[in-house]
Amino acid sequence: MLVRYRGGEGMLAWAFHRISGVAIWLFVVLHVLDIFLVGAAPDVYDSLLGFYATPPGILMEWLLGAAVLYHALNGLRIIIMDFWPRMTRFHRQLWYANWVVFVLVGVPVSIVIGGQFVRSLQRFFG
Amino acid sequence: MSSVYSRSGRIKPQGSRSELAIWHLMRLSGLGLFVLVLSHYLILHVLYDPAEQDAQWIAQFRWSSMFWRAFDWLMLILVLFHAFMGMRVVIGDMTRGRLRSLLTSGLYLLAGLLFVLGTFVVVTLPNVVPAG
């Protein structure tokens, strides 16, 4: 649907913003509940953190970071266009600028999280 | 042919003061979260390895200062407003009538519950002073 509907960059920017937003909302619900457990049931919190530190948990952490970074950058793009309407003319260029920053920030962060992933594999097999 | 814009800019909510206020607050909370959430992720997921954190680490280290408790509480307030008002838009786009009001009420109830639970733990968690 996303590929065949010829909405162009603006439509993709909107779709990614919504998908990442719903995903972040889901994690926020989980994350507030798990932090509540730090006081109410520290043992349960620690075992949940045990899951976060497994390879699938780290993969989730990485995807969450990507969703947050995209949503944050595209959110800035939305704010720029809403408070400076003439910038809507350059909405595509702004979206490409988002991806440039996304890659520049995402690559070093991915290297660090890649290290966490390797250590989680070592814990799993070691 | 060069593109012709009959109107420049995106549509703002019209005819409702509260909808316009929410529209502004979404952008304001978004700016706040840009700083708070990205630095939260940078500190706790990049500079520190999450595998080295547990409940004791939070009680002894992370929440040993009022600054980080206040930081996290402000982030809680902004993220609950922003995420739940965003979900309200999603529900508004996808549902109609009774289902929409039912889901929206459930959404507000969940947001209220998370605010109470999150505020409770950030205020009441005792600061454990590490031995030695």
Q: Where residue B7 falls among pLDDT bands split at 50, 70, 90?
A: low
Contact A35 B121 (CB under 8 A): yes
Cα A72 to Cα B45: distance, rounded to the nearest angstrom = 17
Cα A95 to Cα A105: distance, rounded to the nearest angstrom = 15
How far is the alpha carbon of A100 from chain B, nearest alpha carbon, in Å? 17
Per-residue CA distances from A99 to A28, A45, A93, B109 (Å) = 24, 35, 10, 36
Q: Does pLDDT of B132 surpass 60?
A: no
B14 touches chain A (CB under 8 A): no
Residue B130 within any structural domain of the chain: no
B32 touches chain A (CB under 8 A): no
Contact B8 A39 (CB under 8 A): no
Q: Give the least confident one: A18-27, A108-117, B59-68, B75-84.
A: B59-68
For residue A60, the chain B residue with the least C-alpha distance is: B45
Q: Does pLDDT of A47 surpass 80?
A: yes
Residue B76 within any structural domain of the chain: yes
B76 touches chain A (CB under 8 A): yes
Tally of structural domains, chain B:
1
Contact A21 B117 (CB under 8 A): no
Q: Does pLDDT of B130 surpass 90?
A: no
Q: Provide φ and ψ at B49, rounded to 5°.
A: -85, 120
The domain that contains B54 carries what CATH number? Answer: 1.20.1300.10
Q: Which amino acid is at B81?
A: F
Of the residues A17, A18, A32, the best mutation for testing chain B's interface (the one with the most B CB atoms within 10 Å of its CB) is A32
B27 touches chain A (CB under 8 A): yes
Q: Of B131, B56, B8, give the one whose Cα is nearest residue A83.
A: B8
Q: Where residue B1 falls among pLDDT bands split at 50, 70, 90?
A: very low
Q: Give the least confident one: A15-19, B6-10, B22-26, B114-118.
A: B6-10
B129 touches chain A (CB under 8 A): no
Hey, what long-range contacts does B102-106 have (CB within 8 A, 24 or more apart)? none
pLDDT at B2: 47
Residue B37 within any structural domain of the chain: yes
How far is the alpha carbon of A92 from chain B, nearest alpha carbon, in Å? 13
Q: Does pLDDT of B29 surpass 90?
A: yes
Indicate the CATH number of A8-125 among 2.40.40.20, 1.10.10.10, 1.10.1520.10, 1.20.1300.10: 1.20.1300.10
Contact A39 B124 (CB under 8 A): yes
Q: Of A96, A98, A92, give the one whose Cα is nearest residue A76.
A: A98
Residue B60 within any structural domain of the chain: yes
Compute the average pLDDT of residues B60-70: 94
ipTM score assigned to the predicted complex: 0.92
Mean pLDDT value across chain B? 91
pTM of the model: 0.92
Instruction: Write out chain B residues lying below 8 Å of A28, CB-based.
Output: 79-80, 83, 114
In our burial notation (b when 16+ CB lie closer than 10 A, e otherwise), range B6-45 reads eeeeeeeeeeeeeeeebbeebbebbebbbebbbebbeeeb
Compute the average pLDDT of residues B34-51: 96
How far is the alpha carbon of A90 from chain B, nearest alpha carbon, in Å? 11
Per-residue CA distances from A49 to A68, A97, B11, B49, B76 (Å) = 20, 35, 43, 12, 20
Compute the average pLDDT of residues A34-40: 95
Find the domain containing B62 and state its range: 17-124
